[in-house]
Structure formats: structure tokens, C-alpha cells
Chains A and B, each alone.
Chain A
Amino acid sequence: MKFKDYYELMDVKRDATQDEIKRAYRKLARKYHPDVSKETDAEERFKEVGEAYEVLKDPEKRAAYDQLGENWKNGQDFNPPPDWDQGFEFHGGGFTGADAEQFSDFFESLYGRGAYSQGYGGHSNRAFHARGEDAHAKIIIDLEDAYQGATRALSLKHTEMGSDGRPQLKERTLNVRIPKGIRQGQHIRLTKQGSPGVGQGEPGDLYLEVEFNSHALYHVEGSDVYLDLPVTPWEAALGATVKVPTPTGSVDLKIPENSLSGRKLRLKGRGIPAKQAGDFYVVLKIDLPPADSEEAKEAYRNFEKAFPYNPRKHLGV
């Protein structure tokens, strides 16, 4: 197990006041909140900071943590010394609204897993709630799956109360049909696939948020799909018919003569086949061949002679 330096994680001094710790937490939470942050490791950092704050905001937990000494380094191998917490009582009543389930082994070895955890951002665990809770998860698919529909096996981890009254981590696999026409950010609701009900209660529902893998060729906006298509200057100027890939197979596309770079050509209804089907857009990018041979250079010189053309005229110099 690795030691976690909660002070370092929160970027506060070891003698910081409780107010300073709170301010540091608020700042970091805003910075790394997965809903607002674009940092790649935002979720990881948000959890770490939440865990650090869970300890440092509580004077008892903090004092016990301080007992471990200052010489530990973040990431160092660590086992709690026996009776390390002797003389401390953690009254906090478990974890105040934090998601203890996500905390590290390091945290667990020191403070236990505490109260049966609450879902991410949720306020659950009301008593006598016979119906099971709804669950939320993410599923990552390819753009092609949205065109054709697909089935995906999905592993979900969840905690269940064991017969000994302690929560246990369980894993189950679901086979899910991805409906044709689904878009990025939409949700699939699977009824009665959430948490099991209590007593006679029905299970809750499961909501799956759909996310697309980024695609090497296409990008997606809503139900519209875009492709950048390189063309030669003569294809753009004279017009041409070229082969173009689409997620449903290649098509012959007619490029009108005198097309400029950036021109968008629309293939109506060939976007994601949602209820209102999206369109497929081909964006022309004029690709200049390099002048890497005497012949090519000669061709460019002929070009120059043929066009008395100054693209910088409007710059006024």
C-alpha cells in the first residue's frame, strides 16, 4: 500500500488552519470537478482531494494522521503501525456526504470504510425505501455502432450488503443492445437493472450514458458527422468525382468546379440515423503537392505564368 500525503495532495502546509484547508479544498474541488474540468486526470484528482479533505477537515482524523509523522513521502510503501490510532475516537459519524467507496486502500486501512457509502453526488439511503435505487454508468461505443446498432457486454461493479452486514464489492456483466441512431451524451434506460429492491420492492433502473470513442476519420456534432477530405488544386478547380468513405461504406462524391478550400458538401440523411437523421458533411481541404522534382517545379512555374494573381491584394501592401 502506498502512503498518501494528504497535505501535499491539497497543497497546504502541515500547520494550515482548518479554514485554510477548507479554502484549499473548495478551490481544488472547483478545479478538478469532473463536470467542469477538462484536465485529463480530473476524476482521479477530484477523488484524491476529496479523500484528503475527509481526513484533514476532521480534527480527530487529522490529529491521528499527524501522529504518523512527517517523514512519510507520497507514494512510499506503507503499513499502519499497530495501535496507531490508540487514544483517538472517530466520532464523525462516518463520512459526511463524501463518497467513501471511492477512497484508497490507504484511507481504508486507517479509518475503515465507515458508513455504507453513498452514490456519487447522491443523497441516498433513506430508510424503508422498498424500491431499489436507480444506478448510472457510462458506456463507450464506436461511431459505427450508432449507425448499425450493436450489442455490448458491460461489466458493472456495485456494492451489496453481505450477510455479515458489511458492504461487498460485486461485479456483474450485462449484455446490452445499443439502439441504432443513438447519439453522444444520450442515455439508455434499462428498467429494473439498477440496485435490487428491499424486501418485496422492485429493483431500480439503470441509466447508461453513451460516449463515442474518438474516430480517426470522422467527427460528430449532435447527429451530424463530418469528414475532412483532401483534394488537389485541380480537382477543386476543375471539378471531379472522387471516392469518399462514410461510416456506411464508400460513395462517389461529385466535387463542383471552382470549389474553395473549406467548402462543405452535404450528403443529406447520411449522418447518424437518429429519429431525425443527421447529415454527413464533407469538408474540402486543398492539398498542394510538393515541388520536389524538376518537373513539379516546372509545373508550378507554368502556374505562375498562367495566373496574374495576388492573394494579398486586400492587405494593401
Chain B
Amino acid sequence: MTNDKLSLLSGEILEEEMELTLVELCHACQVPAERVIEIVEEGVVEPLGEDPAYWRFHGVNLQRIRFTLRMQHDLGVNIAGAALALNLLEEIEDLRARLRRYKDES
């Protein structure tokens, strides 16, 4: 890692074209597959494909899963509660964005 300064790193945009496998998702979230499967069973994220071995996850799901894990770990919320919080937060974020627009206008 000594030449990090010299080389220019290019990455992919997770949310644009990328899909993650269950294994990649587990690596990215640092949890065993069972934890991700529990979250799928609650409907927090929806994989493409039937069999877990062939599941593909759209990139945006990584954040949803990481959020759910943080809620469980930090606040003792269960998966259903975290899913509810996630939906409400998305709604709040949407409302805040609109509010910002109205505030700027006045």
C-alpha cells in the first residue's frame, strides 16, 4: 500500500449498475449469511432470484441492511422495528427536502 499516493483509484457506483451476491453483502456488512436472511424474511430488502445461493441484491440494499444491523446493535430494536424506522426516516427525509424548498422561497 506504499504507492497509494501515486495511483488513482477508480471505483464503481454501487447504486447504479451494481448487484451484490449474498456473499458480497455479508462481507460488506460483516455478518454471517443467517443475519442477512433474517432481514430478507422480514421484507426489509428484496433479492432477485429464488435460491439464496443465487440471490442478487441491488446496490441500494446494502445501506438498508447496514442500517437495520446498526438499529439492532445500537438500540436493541428488532428487525420489524428497524424496518418501520427505515420507512419513516425515508418519509421524513422526503418531507425535509420539500420543506427546504419552501423555506428558501420565503
Contact = CB atoms under 8 A, between A and B. Distances in A.
Given A133-B30, A134-B27, A134-B28, A97 B73 contact: yes
Contact of B29 (A35, A122, A177): A122
Chain B's interface size range is 35 or more
Contact of B27 (A29, A186, A204, A283): A204
A174 B4 contact: yes
Contact of B9 (A122, A177, A196): A177
A121 B14 contact: no
Interface residues of A, number: 52
A133 B27 CA distance: 7
Interface stretch (A57-65, A187-195, A240-248): A187-195
A48 interface: no
A283 B14 contact: no
Interface string B13-38: 11111100000000111111001000
Contacts of A101: none
B104 interface: yes
A219 B74 contact: no
B52 interface: no
Interface of B: 1, 4-18, 27-32, 35, 59, 62-63, 66-67, 69-71, 73-76, 85, 89, 97, 100-101, 104-105
6 contacts: A26-B75, A119-B30, A175-B6, A181-B13, A188-B12, A193-B9
Given A136-B66, A177-B10, 10 more contacts: A36-B85, A123-B31, A134-B30, A153-B5, A175-B6, A176-B8, A176-B10, A187-B13, A188-B13, A196-B1
